[in-house]
Amino acid sequence: MKLNLARLIIVIITGFLLAHAKMLLAAGNPKHSTGPTTESVLAADQQLAKALQNNDTVGIYRMLDKDWAVIPSTGAVYEGPEVFPSGIRSGYRTLRVMELSEPRVRLYGNVALVTTKVRLSGQLGGKSYDDLKMRQTDIWQWKDGSWKCVLTQEAVVKE
């Protein structure tokens, strides 16, 4: 009887610990969230910024939707999730710093808009730049249990 009670207690404690670990993982990973929330989309936006700063082509590609597009401050439109990764691989575009601040998040069902102030340092087309300040809006869609960025709009901030 004592052996069965001890086993039961071990099973209950193990179940509690596994459930707690799963909750902690979901809180820190936007892909494991239970649904679209402002917290999970902000985490996804920060995860994309980290992948961009680290020039992580696989991480960038994973976060972007197949129909993703970017509209830089020039007004041009570049389409496809390969835009940044191909620029990194070719050496055309690399980042050293990508810092986000002043986030503004709006959630509309399974779509979210995340606007941030961005500070960038890196190189583009062989020319270095330091401390470039921008406002950036990423539009995210909740698809198949995770956030995918579908559009990025950039605007240079003149101070």
Residue 95 has pLDDT above 50, yes or no: yes
CATH topology of domain 34-156: Nuclear Transport Factor 2; Chain: A, (3.10.450)
Average pLDDT for residues 26-54, to the nearest whole number? 82
Residue 127 has pLDDT above 60, yes or no: yes
Residue 25 has pLDDT above 50, yes or no: no
The whole model's pTM is what?
0.77
Q: pLDDT category, 47, cuts 50, 70, 90?
A: very high
131-157 exposure pattern, b = at least 16 Cβ within 10 A, e = fewer: eeeebbbbbbbbeeebbbbbbbbbeee
Which of 52, 35, 26, 28 has the alpha carbon at shortest distance from 143?
A: 35
